[in-house]
Amino acid sequence: MTENQSQQKTWFITGCSTGFGREIAKKAISTGYNVVATARNPAQIEDLATEHQEHVLILQLDVTDKAQVRATVQMALEKFGTIDVLVNNAGIGYFSTVEESVEEEARRMFEINFWGLMAVTQEVLPHFRSQNSGHIINLSSVGGLAAFPSVGYYNATKFAVEGISESLAKEVAPLGIHVTLIEPGAFRTDWAGRSANRTKTEITAYMETVGPRINRPSGQEMGNPAKLAEAIMQVAELPNPPLRLLLGKDAYAVATAKFGDMLNDIENWKETTMGTDFEE
């Protein structure tokens, strides 16, 4: 791909201040795409445009603010005339037992991880439909396929993203629009650090299952965010991209174990399953 060819596409990326969003934005910029890089604090990402003023637009965006979502998408269209790839990356984590979780914290996470993602998606969809093309890339998690102790409500947000993305993919496929779920395992980002809140676990019965995960230090994960960005670039150029892309050896191991267990349960209980219909 030449630089002129890649510049014909515009990427709109949320949550670019750190982690995956920043790496994806850097890779898209270096590839030569037009890039709309957004963050709640745009001062944290102004450096992304330092050498690329003509094809990088830095904008403030809180995905939970629908008026700001609408204005930001409009500014992107005014600048570049099109959006071709939407990367819904903005998100936060939350560590707690399910029983001890604080509802306010869980609801805030849903507002960002799910409703914020959908607000941006719904704002961009009319444009994608008008041009009969577009690619929605939703940052999910292997935690959207398999659940873990200590992050139950986070798992719930990602399970929700998985479900609505799968439904959306079937609705928009005839319109020339693609949807891809990115499902990383543990990557060396700030997700478990500054980007995640914690509620102290005080019920001793949970210390064995939840305690070690809540207190696990971040920064030693095997996943390389730069390689994740490269993988997303590769998928975005495919004429028929996958609905789901697992990233990381741990993600592969977790997902295959989960679906193996599910298949075992399905087959072991097949007789009961098949016996609950009316007799013909």
Catalytic site residues? 140, 154, 158
Measured distance CA(46)–CA(43) in Å, rounded: 5
Measured distance CA(74)–CA(68) in Å, rounded: 10
DSSP assignment of 115-164: IIHHHHHHHHHHHHHHHT-EEEEEE--GGGTS--TTBHHHHHHHHHHHHH
Q: Pick from 112, 106, 145: which is nearest to 15 by CA?
A: 112
Per-residue DSSP letter, 96: B
- Reported for 53-57, long-range contacts at CB under 8 A and 24+ positions apart, including other chains, are 55/7, 55/29, 56/29
Q: Does residue 81 sit in helix, strand or coil?
A: coil
Contact 110, 161 (CB under 8 A): no
Kindly state the greatest CA–CA separation across the chain: 71
Question: Terminus-to-terminus CA distance in the chain, angstroms?
Answer: 59
Measured distance CA(10)–CA(234) in Å, rounded: 15
Q: Which residues, listed in sequence order, are joined to residue 60 by a DSSP beta bridge?
A: 39
Distance of CA 67 to the CA centre of its chain: 22
- Token readout for 128 is 């994608």
Q: Pick from 127, 146, 231, 129: which is nearest to 180 by CA?
A: 231
